[in-house]
Amino acid sequence: MRIVVTNCNTTQSMTEEIVRGARAAAGPGTTVLGLTPAWGPESAEGWLDSYLSAAAVLDTLRTYEGPYDAVVMAGFGEHGREGVRELVDVPVVDITEAAAHLACLLGRRYGVVTTLERSAGQIEDSLDTAGVGRNCAAVVGTGLGVLDLGDPERTEAAFVAAAGRARDAGAEVLVLGCAGMTGLQRAVGEKLGLPVVDGVGAAVKLAESLVSLGLTTSRAGGYAKPLPKRRVWGPPSE
């Protein structure tokens, strides 16, 4: 089975890190291929970045010739999920919803620890529309930007502090709220005594599950195939 993992930003090193995390989670027969959008933001932090990223990821998949059996969208809280479901004929799993689905199986309430506080609203909306917002006790920020996650000690300390606030709000399970946090889950989980779900790994397992069960997106309703029409994917070159 071949899973395409799309980074939501243009930073190639982050794609590589995500692919490492995805491969660590993937089963023996699964090949993971990372795609970095050729355009978009270098990191997605806020609504404007998120919408720009959504179009760039759609364009990346639209022009990627495959073949592949599933798509994992590795932008936590980022937009585009439903558009990709329309576009491709294979199952699509977004790391935001994936982490929440698994977290619901591990405790009554989960909390998300993300990068900047400003992203909390986007993540809440993404969980709500995915249908898994009910058991989310809190979305809290660490105050670190996506590209500040390079320093593992600082990241871990900030994560643990934010996680405490999530636990106080009722979270019994934690979710890593950024694809760039992948790898942190084990160290942090031990320190906190709570299960920590990484969305990239969760999404890989859910994508494998859907593929092996022969399930894919319903075409009856909102995720029907895009209508044929004229679309221009980016500004005219000058």
- Residues 5-34, interacting with its own copies (CB under 8 A): 10, 25, 27-28
Which residues from 165-204 bind its own copies, rule CB under 8 A?
A: 167, 170, 172-173, 186, 193-195, 197-198, 201-202
Q: Judged by CB under 8 A, does residue 3 bind its own copies?
A: no
The tally of CA atoms less than 13 A away on the side-chain side of residue 204 is: 29
Task: State the nearest-atom distance from the C-beta of 214 to its own copies, in Å.
Answer: 8
| Site mask for its own copies (CB under 8 A), range 99-138, x = bound | --xx-xxxxxx-------xx-xxx--x--xxxxxxxx---
**Distance set, CA 53 to CA 48, 108, 125, 143 (Å):** 8, 32, 17, 21
Cβ atoms of 59 and 25 within 8 Å: the answer is: no
Name the residue type at position 40: G
- Which stretch, 45-53, 148-156, 158-166, 176-184, contacts its own copies (CB under 8 A)? 45-53
Binding span for its own copies by CB under 8 A among 12-20, 84-92, 152-160, 176-184: 84-92
Least Cβ distance, residue 46 to its own copies (angstroms): 6
Helix, strand, or coil (residue 78): coil
The residue within the footprint of its own copies, chosen from 18, 73, 87, 95 (CB under 8 A), is 87
Nearer to its own copies, 67 or 236 (CB): 236
161 C-beta neighbours (distance < 10 Å), count: 13
Instruction: Mention every residue, 6+ apart, whose C-beta is less than 8 A from residue 101.
Output: 132, 202, 206
Of 78, 151, 82, 76, the C-alpha closest to 112 is 76
| Binding-residue total with its own copies (CB under 8 A) | 99
x-marked contacts with its own copies along 218-237 as a string, rule CB under 8 A: xxxxxxx-xx-xxxxxxxxx
Q: Which residues pair with 35 in a beta bridge?
A: 6
